[in-house]
Structure 1
Amino acid sequence: MTTTLNVPAADLPAPPDAAKKPYTVKAPHGAQRSDEYYWLRDDKRKNPEMLAYLNAENAYVDAVMKPLKPLEDKLYGEIVGRIKQDDSSVPYRERGYWYYTRFETGQDYPIHARRKGSMEDAEQVLLDVNAMAKGKDYFSVGAMEVTQDNQILAWADDAVGRRQYKIRFKNLATGEIYSDVIENTSTDLVWADDNKTLFYVENDPKTLLTVRIKKHVLGTPASKDVLVYEEKDDSFYMGIERSRDDAYICINIHSTVSSEVRCAPAADPKEFFVLAPRQRDVEYDADHLGGRWVIRTNAPGADGKPAPNFKLVTADDGARSIKEWKDWIAHRDDVFVEGFELFDGFTAVAERSNALERLRLIGKDGKEEFVKADEPAFSMGLSVNSEHDTPWLRYTYTSLTTPATTYELNTATGERKLLKRQPVIGYDADKYVTERFWATARDGVKVPVSLVYKKGFEKNGKAALLQYAYGSYGMSMDPGFNSTVVSLLDRGMVYAIAHIRGGQEMGRKWYDDGKLFHKQNTFNDFVDVTADLVKAGYAAPDRVAAYGGSAGGLLMGAIANMAPDKYRVVLSQVPFVDVVTTMLDASIPLTTNEYDEWGNPEKKDYYDYMLSYSPYDNLKKQAYPAMFVGTGLWDSQVQYWEPAKYVARLRDLDTGKQPVLFRTNMDAGHGGKSGRFRRFREQAEMYSFMIDQMQVSADIVAK
């Protein structure tokens, strides 16, 4: 059977119609644009007219989706039914304690705990997030750090969803919650060796930029916290961490194209030295072990050759400039160095080649080997390796058919232990197939695609397909297991991840070719992947759905304007669709950090290029696909008014008859609702809309 709304348009309520109010957005170079829905922006989220519009849109979604509520409930039950409710993470050892997170049946939030000596010893609960979240619409613990003497816990929590955290403290010996509270922070927390001084990052309360490093001494007012470092350049982010050997506390300062690391001895962190002064187009990150620095960088070597795919260099303990760095792992045009982990006896290097991840192990004797994988498309990476004086490497492995798995590999003997494979109740990996497909973009570039479907699938050009991508910030969308997708595969659908330019799956050039004045490649790649998948028989031309979120929502808006006829449905979550207006406003959180990603529209050449693809500005009179657009009222990364304005203008211009739904989560931010179950209700609603629109069977296909 198929499920359809089967409700005459006349019987459905009319979609909301937002009021138009004249407003002109001006650029410094004189350009002007009319924005009749600018009034929907309210930084305080209190404007009654704006809230009434968002609530009207939610009521419209409720009315349109009412016939599909049974399917939504069914999907939600399937998704949640695959979750092992009394689950726990793989414990890791640090300073004599085993730390882990566990869930209890029926509970939405984790319990963070530890055991001293071994996992057979008594449990000590650090934080029961279920109790902390009680009575709150949203709650998240963003970070936790324990003092070097194992006695005091600091954590950062957010009760709004805007990623402005409060830091609090607990005495783990007595259970006492201290009265100290620090507001407007990020999640980075580092204790000094004195076990009473905490270093943290303070955010600007309006722009949310990481602007200051401060230190707090337990028992003193937060208003007296000492300023350690202030970043004056608002195109940079900041973080703080300990070095691998715990010898240093390091401030990591980075923009899209430049980095700087400042460190101080953890035993006496009074003065921070600069490891290497920042330079435009030179990025680096560093760690310390065995009396030397190991640095991942794209800086040219002594020969002057650039290293866009990054390399590893070393430096003596006292080195303070790039000139003192010595090449260790050379740059390669076909391998992107993504990260590394230092151990006493070896180094693990995380790399990318041919759009796949791999781990290269380098022994002290210089011998190298790769950690093996068994599937054509997979995701592999470093896991929690809290101790460096061990031959055991922990790493994660997953694919579109293999649930998240944690292995432990003895680099001396080759012995491998399976520590955990994420339980997925009722799931049988043997019933599904994953493969790698290469599409050809219009400029001739080959674009990798990861595919998964149920065994028995026939490439006869009749199936429904969901195509997902992101394509920005150099973030790679690796083919990892997604339990919600199983409900689609079981109904005969194909799921595809398009590894388009703008990500970093194929190295740094893949990223560079999908940003700034090359951004159009990102959108072209996605559309061209769709065309090739349809041509190859993976989907019917009228049964393709596109899905993306955040910057991937920008992608959704762009492809809906470019090629509306290629998509039956577009699913867009927290979409960045008003590119030019947002990037012209430095008061909006995160804007200034991203000039090297999108460009600064205060410069006319960037303005004109961004305007050429900005989804809100390029809406036009044409028939658009069915759309489901979601946002969070408290989103700090893509403000709610971007999708709100986009949908309001889309309703004015759309000449088609497909439904456009706009759901605002009134008590959440960029990541949706908190808790491990509630977010799946949103996913089930969106999936039920897509399944209905593409005439996919509501029942599971037996094969």
Structure 2
Amino acid sequence: MRVTATAQTPSSPAVPPVPPTAEKRPTSRTHHGDTVTDPYEWMREKDAAELTAHLEAENAYTEARTAHLAGLRERIFQEIKSRTLESDLSVPTRRGQWWYYGRTVEGSQYGIQCRAPLASPDDWTPPVLSPDVAVPGEQVLLDGNVEAAGEEFFSLGSFEVSNDGTTLLYGVDVAGDERYTIRVRDLVSGENLRDEIPETFAGATFSPDGRFIVYTTVDDAWRPDTVWLHELGTPVTDDVKLFHEPDERYWVGADFTHSDRFLMIEMGSSITSEEWLLDADDLRGTPRVVWPRRDGVEYSSEHAVVDGQDVLYILHNDKALDFELVRVAASDPAGARETVIAHEPGRRLLGLSTFRDWAVAGYRRDGLERLGMLDYATGAVSELAFDEPLYSVGLSGNPEWAPPMLRLGYGSFVTPGTVYDYVVATGELLLRKRQPVLGGYEVSDYAQERVWATAHDGTQVPVSLVWKRSFGAPAVDGPRPVHLYGYGSYEHSIDPGFSVARLSLLDRGVVFAVAHVRGGGEMGRQWYEDGKMLRKRNTFTDFVDAARHLVDAGYTTPDRLVAEGGSAGGLLMGAVANLAPELFGGILAGVPFVDALTTILDPSLPLTVIEWDEWGDPLHDAEVYAYMKSYTPYENVREGVTYPRILAVTSLNDTRVMYVEPAKWVARLREVGADALLKCELVAGHGGVSGRYNAWKERAFELAWILDVLGLADDAPAQ
């Protein structure tokens, strides 16, 4: 294998760095009569010395190519740091006899989880905490900095205190592969118990009585497939298997209902779901199915007590594309259904959170999230109103079953993350905290709006914009540099949200934009259906049409337009680079799913079989195979075109989108003369590096590259 990379040192002459050249080792695969020869598939050998050398050479080349941005990276890092209140506390959340909250401390990478006792049983007003003032009775439950000592990576996958407040469970990942070791701590003594459960999935939970831990494990393809019951103080080898799902299309999870009445065991694919109930006071009993699975029918259940009867509120899409809500008897879920919220096309019901006296419905209408209070007696829904034209809102930390108020999380592109308490009896919205942004940030200095781009088939695609007012209105005052973000898969919506790091772009005159393309969920279930399977190309063409609209309408020019997307959004980036390379000055692809066909053809790889419901099954369906081959970025790199500058960022231990995909993609792009860089974190997972300072530095690296592409690398922020 030949790997070369030359990085300049301060004493070396200005010799352009040479990109690594990976050896070609042709391997062939044949499906549906089509043979593909792949010269770089050998890179899948993660433990091979040649692969390690190649990735290290790629990193050295990327560092050499971006060495001139070192000063800008440091400035952006310092800007993020200076705008962040490094020593801070979250708004306390009441649970049982305690207020629970998190601390961050200046200079520390990880958060510290704490609690303090209630002043009285009737105390529902969270105390106002200050990092400079000691909290009476404070108890540190878990200090992430202590737990992460000596580790290059640290992430929590579970964190829960038992109902009686005496015991803590937490799951730790120190590799980035999302396999967690569960540990248990006695909060009276502060000592860890002997209970330790390795190789688990995220999301373990205590039983209501605190005697048991319910957790899940994964199969060889990283699919959570089995639910287990562990009794504290007993060997892990004695754990009871509560449920196993053999069908590789389905994942499995488990949690207790908010009422603590049932354990709900959930399984689902992208298009089908099924739930089983187990009485919380008889966890070794036999679970019973809510509704037997039917292909294409999704549902989710919540328990409540109405007029003294146990009922289930079930959100489902059986002959209801955007879902409807029904109520059934918990003792006979398959029996008579009472419609509570009827199906309404264009209003996508997202979920229901039940409480003792009322419930909260979450739904999406006109591209925005909404919350509505559901009256158990009448079925009436009262929507909560907010002033901004673009915003995000959702429930945030409501563990109590019968609270007088609801904790909400709110924000927009210009409004920092905000915590409200909503008083149910009066409708009053109490501001508890707004994310501090230091350095004189003023919401009124920035603006946000939504415009519409016309897609190739006439569909109107929403595009959100945010900018700093002092630079003038985009399009009105001339073309501006634009950073365009997109995702468009799994019905995931990119909702308005604030970013401290983004200010380093906005304050240099960059307009941030989001193309809400089909395949996401912004405009309802049909929006998602029209951007998946054999209609996946709509995702890519929508993004191209949105970019073209921004150019044609005078918002920007191609050389001043940088696109970004991650994971499935990275697939989007690779696809649009092939479809319309002339429209972009640069493309940033994070953990990009750019070799999708190779991955989806191999059912032994993590998550592949589950993914067939999203992308199609090219292994057994020739039409799907041909369709995926027509758009997969790695398969469709073009000769004879000028690609925009490309930066691909990945992680060696990512189990969702493996490092090999961007590594192969960059190698193939270089074959056709593209200016492509690869940055691979050698100790990280799908979410990138761990620790807030490390994450800020990583984002500063990416933002500096974006500014360099936009010709703003030497510009200081506007004052």
Query: Which of 364, 370, 394 is equivalent to 1:358?
Result: 370
Alpha-carbon shift at residue 509 of structure 1 (Å): 0.3
Would you say 1:36 and 2:39 are equivalent positions?
yes
**Mean CA deviation greater in 174-183 or 250-259:** 174-183
2:649 to 613, 625, 630: 630
1:194 positional shift: 4.2
Matches of residues 416-565 of structure 1 in structure 2 within 5 Å? 416-426=429-439, 427-456=441-470, 457-458=472-473, 459=475, 460-565=477-582
- Residue of structure 1 equivalent to 2:638: 620
Q: Per the alignment, do residues 343 and 164 of structure 1 end up closer, same or farther by CA in structure 2, a change over 3 Å counting?
A: same
Cα drift, residue 89 of structure 1: 1.7
After alignment, is 96-105 or 533-542 more displaced? 533-542
Give the direction of change, closer, same or farther, for the CA distance of 1:645–1:265 in structure 2 (3 Å limit): same
Which is worse superposed, 638-647 or 364-373?
364-373
The corresponding residue for 2:361 is 349
Give the structure 2 partner of residue 326 of structure 1: 338
Shift of 1:160: 0.3
One-letter identity of the residue aligned with 1:392: M
Q: Distance in 1 between matches of 2:327 and 2:304?
A: 11
Correspondent of 1:11 among 9, 15, 29: 15
SS in 2 for 1:178: strand
Deviation at 1:404, TM superposition (A): 0.6
Matched, 1:208 2:222: yes
Q: Which residue of 1 aligns with 2:66?
A: 65
In the alignment, is the contact (CA less than 8 A) between 2:170 and 2:182 conserved in 1? yes
Measured after TM superposition, the shift of residue 295 of structure 1 is: 3.4
Q: Supply the distance in 1 between the matched residues of 2:580 and 2:528 (Cα, whole angstroms).
A: 23
1:9 CA displacement: 12
Q: Structure 1 residues 269 and 517, CA, compared in 2 at 3 Å: closer, same or farther?
A: same
Q: Which amino acid letter does the alignment assign opposite residue 288 of structure 1?
A: H
Using the TM superposition, give the Cα deviation of residue 649 of structure 1 relative to its aligned residue in structure 2, in angstroms.
0.9
Q: From 647, 652, 656, give the equivalent of 2:666.
A: 647
1:123 partner amino acid: E
CA spacing shift, 1:653–1:296, aligned 2, 3 Å: farther
* Structure 2 unaligned regions, length at least 5: 1-7, 120-126, 128-134
Where does residue 610 of structure 1 map in the other structure? 628
Q: Which residue of 2 aligns with 1:180?
A: 195
Taking the TM superposition and a 5 Å limit, the aligned residue runs for 1:231-380 are 231-270=245-284, 271-290=286-305, 291-300=309-318, 306-321=319-334, 323-366=335-378, 367-380=380-393
Show the counterpart of 1:595: 612
1:491/1:698 contact within 8 Å kept: no
Q: Residue 697 and residue 24 in structure 1: after superposition, are their counterparts in 2 closer, same or farther (change >3 A)?
A: closer
Letter in 2 for 1:137: E
Cα separation, 1, equivalents of 2:376 and 2:487: 38
2 CA distance for matches of 1:468 and 1:9? 38
Q: Distance in 1 between matches of 2:311 and 2:592?
A: 40
| Partner residue, 1:407 | 420
Over 3 Å counting, the alpha-carbon distance change for 1:195 and 1:55 in structure 2 is same
Alignment partners' CA distance in 1, 2:598 and 2:435: 43
The one of 220, 225, 228 aligned to 2:234: 220
TM-score when scaled to structure 2? 0.93
Partner of 1:398: 411
1:583-607 per-residue CA deviation (whole Å, 9 max, x = no partner) reads 0111111111110100111111110
The one-letter amino acid paired with 1:418 is L
Specify the SS of the correspondent of 2:178.
coil
Q: Supply the distance in 1 between the matched residues of 2:481 and 2:13 (Cα, whole angstroms).
A: 25
Determine helix, strand or coil for the equivalent of 2:277. Answer: strand
Matches of residues 654-673 of structure 1 in structure 2 within 5 Å?
654=673, 659-673=675-689
Show CA shifts across 1:266-297 (max 9, x none): 11112211111111111011111214334343
- Percent identity between the aligned chains? 40
| 1:641-696 deviation per Cα after TM superposition (whole angstroms, max 9, x unaligned) | 01101111111123x5xx32110000001001101121111111111112112212
Report how far residue 390 of structure 1 moved. 2.5
Tell whether 2:184 aligns with 1:169. Answer: yes
- How many residue pairs get matched? 685
Deviation, structure 1 residue 26: 2.9
Residue among 226, 243, 265 paired with 1:229: 243
Inter-partner Cα distance in structure 2 for 1:220 and 1:393 = 38
Structure 1 residues 210-254: Cα deviation after superposition (integer angstroms, max 9, x where no partner): 011111122222122121111011111111111011111111111
CA contact (8 A) 1:284 1:295 kept: no
Q: CA offsets per residue over residues 408-433 of structure 1, 9 Å max, x none?
A: 11121122210111111122211100
Give the whole-Å Cα distance in 2 for the aligned partners of 1:9 and 1:209. Answer: 52
Task: State the alpha-carbon separation in 1 of the partners of residues 254 and 435 from structure 2.
Answer: 31
Q: Distance in 1 between matches of 2:347 and 2:250?
A: 27
Q: Determine if contact 2:347/2:364 at 8 Å carries over to the other structure.
A: yes
Query: How big is the shift at 1:117?
Result: 1.9
Aligned-pair CA distance for 1:155:
1.1
- 1:125 partner letter: V
Structure 2 Cα separation of the partners of residues 449 and 340 of structure 1: 28
How far 1:388 sits from its partner (Å)? Answer: 2.9
- Tell me by how many angstroms 1:461 deviates: 3.9
CA distance in 2, matches of 1:186, 1:630: 25
Distance between the aligned counterparts of 2:170 and 2:389, measured in 1?
Answer: 40
CA distance in 2, matches of 1:95, 1:604: 57
Once residues 648 and 576 of structure 1 are traced to their aligned partners in structure 2, the CA distance between those partners, rounded to angstroms, is 15
Deviation at 1:368, TM superposition (A): 3.6
Q: More relative contact order in 1 or in 2 (CA 8 Å, sep 6+)?
A: 1
* Partner residue of 2:714 out of 693, 698, 701: 698
Task: Check 1:595–1:295 CA distance in 2 against 1; reply closer, same or farther (3 A cut).
Answer: farther
Structure 1 residue 434: Cα displacement: 0.6
* Contact 2:558 2:582 (8 Å CA) reproduced: no
Aligned partner of 1:132 in structure 2 is 147
What do the CA deviations read for 1:605-638 (whole angstroms, capped 9, x no partner)?
Answer: 1101111100000012121100111000000100
Letter matched to residue 337 of structure 2: W
Query: Which stretch of structure 1 is more off in the superposition, 388-397 or 605-614?
Result: 388-397
Query: 2:699: which partner in 1?
Result: 683
Number of the residue aligned with 2:4: none
Say if 1:360 and 1:368, in contact at 8 Å, map to a contact too. yes
CA contact under 8 A between 1:139 and 1:157: conserved in structure 2? yes
Q: In the alignment, is the contact (CA less than 8 A) between 1:461 and 1:534 conserved in 2?
A: no
Q: Tell me if structure 1 keeps the 8 A contact 2:312–2:329.
A: no
Give, as a single letter, the amino acid of the residue that structure 1 aligns with 2:103.
R
Does residue 1:20 correspond to 2:24, yes or no? yes
Aligned partner of residue 465 in structure 2, secondary structure: strand
Residue pair 2:375, 2:381 contacting (<8 A) in 1 also: yes
Would you say the 8 A contact 2:207–2:256 is kept in 1?
Answer: no
**1: distance between equivalents of 2:115 and 2:302?**
27
